[in-house]
């Protein structure tokens, strides 16, 4: 898959560990910044990445800040984005199966790199269940298009 990734300074270190990990899973990764650990504002990175995912330029996105909360708030304001903030593997698997989430958010100051890799691997390799969940996602789409 084509994967977009972004972070602020709080997520930079984790992002730099995850990029080779995701590439090692056979995916192509595009980094939307930031590009070093200088203090920046997470909306400046989360909005452009989420918009690129919403336009269909990338199949999925990964957004990381200190807590994961700031980037997840931003991403979920972009029409067509279903961003899931995950701190455990079961949530990562279930949000793919039930919510068809297209962006994964994580907190670089909350979880360690091995947990983040396990979450990312589960999220990237789990398919949407469809079925009864289709109608629920259609309701979200209808609401945001009203
Ligand atoms: C930056 O200090 C921090 O506020 C940010 O990374 C994130 O945690 C916001 O939600």
Radius of gyration of the chain (CA): 14
Provide the 3-class DSSP secondary structure of residue 18.
helix
The pLDDT of residue 18? 98
Among 46, 66, 109, residue to substitute to test ligand 1 (most atoms within 8 Å of Cβ): 66
d(CA 92, CA 48): 23
Tell me how far the alpha carbon of residue 70 lies from the centroid of ligand 1, in angstroms.
Answer: 6
Residues having CB within 6 Å of any atom of ligand 1: 8, 10, 42, 65-67, 69-70
pLDDT, position 54: 98
Domain ranges of the chain: 2-145
Burial class (CB in 10 A: 0-12, 13-18, 19+), 42: buried
What pLDDT is recorded for position 133? 98
Task: Determine whether domain 2-145 maps to CATH 3.40.50.2000.
Answer: no
Q: What is the pTM of this model?
A: 0.98
Q: Is 27 annotated in the active site?
A: no
Q: How many A from CA of 46 to the centre of ligand 1?
A: 12
Which atom of ligand 1 is the closest one to the Cα of 67?
8
* pLDDT for 126: 98
Question: Is 83 among the residues known to form the active site?
Answer: no
Distance CA 65, CA 10 (A): 5
pLDDT of residue 85: 99
The pLDDT of residue 101 is 98
Q: CA-CA distance, 113 to 15, in Å (whole number)?
A: 9
Residue indicated by tokens 């700031």: 70
Of 9, 11, 136, 127, whose CA–CA distance to 67 is shortest?
11
Q: Measured between alpha carbons, how far is 46 from 97 in angstroms, rounded to an integer? A: 24
The pLDDT, as a whole number, for residue 84 is: 99
Give the pLDDT confidence score for residue 27 in this predicted structure.
98
Pocket test for ligand 1, best of 67, 105, 107 (most atoms within 8 A of CB): 67
Atom of ligand 1 nearest to the CA of 109: 8
Selection from 93, 51, 46, 89 nearest residue 67 by Cα = 46
Q: What is the pLDDT along the chain (146 residues), one digit of tens a residue?
A: 999 999 999 999 999 999 999 999 999 999 999 999 999 999 999 999 999 999 999 999 999 999 999 999 999 999 999 999 999 999 999 999 999 999 999 999 999 999 999 999 999 999 999 999 999 999 999 999 99
- Closest-lying ligand 1 atom to the alpha carbon of residue 10: 6
């Amino acid at each position: 898959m084509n994967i977009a990734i972004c972070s602020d300074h709080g997520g930079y270190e984790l992002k730099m560990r995850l990029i080779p990990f995701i590439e090692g899973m056979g995916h192509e990764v595009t980094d939307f910044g930031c590009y070093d650990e200088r203090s920046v504002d997470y909306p400046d990175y989360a909005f452009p990445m989420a918009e690129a995912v919403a336009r269909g330029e990338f199949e999925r996105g990964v957004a990381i800040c200190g807590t994961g909360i700031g980037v997840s708030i931003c991403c979920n304001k972009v029409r067509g984005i279903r961003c899931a903030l995950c701190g455990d593997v079961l949530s990562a698997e279930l949000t793919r199966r039930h919510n068809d989430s297209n962006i994964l958010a994580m907190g670089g100051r909350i979880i360690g790199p091995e947990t983040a890799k396990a979450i990312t691997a589960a999220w990237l390799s789990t398919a949407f269940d469809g079925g009864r969940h289709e109608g629920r996602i259609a309701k979200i789409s209808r609401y945001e298009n009203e």
